[in-house]
Amino acid sequence: MAKIEAHEFSKGIIKACSESRIVKSWDVKIYEHAVAKIRVFLVDKSFLEVYYNSETSKISFAWIRNNKRIYGADNLGYWHLHPIDNPEEHIKSRKMSFKRFLLNVEKYFKSKS
């Protein structure tokens, strides 16, 4: 991914959230044009945490329920997943977009309903 400012990165997150049936609302915080911290509130009272830093190229996505990460993806060192069945595990993966991450969360929602 080419480096983009935090504001531009956030616009993509908001677009994906606005198209999702499981997203209730979101809160975006931008720091120094380089860092975005976004909390996406879901209909089941869980939430997604999104972190982006254009200066370090760090990106992380986490699904949080009851104050615990239950699923995640980030590029700390290399792209990897923290799978739903064992969120402490690191499974090497290809680069993940927020849209793909959100689609994975939506699939889990559908499988539980």
Per-residue pLDDT at 100 exceeds 50 = yes
> Which one has a higher pLDDT value, 71 or 4?
71
What pLDDT is recorded for position 3?
Answer: 73
Residue 104, C-beta contacts closer than 8 angstroms, at least 6 positions apart: 71
Band (pLDDT 50/70/90 cuts) for residue 31 is very high
Kindly report, residue by residue over 33-56, the tens digit of the pLDDT: 899 999 999 999 999 999 999 999
CA distance 70 to 87: 5
| SS3 (DSSP) at 17 | helix
| SS3 (DSSP) at 101 | helix
DSSP state of 47: E
DSSP state of 38: E
Per-residue pLDDT at 1 exceeds 50 = no
3-state secondary structure 49-113: EEEEECCCCEEEEEEEECCEEEEEEECCCCCEEECCCCCCCCEECCCCCHHHHHHHHHHHHHHHC
Per-residue pLDDT at 2 exceeds 70 = no
pTM: 0.92
CA distance 33 to 4: 9
Nearest to residue 33, comparing CAs of 51, 61, 16, 53? 53
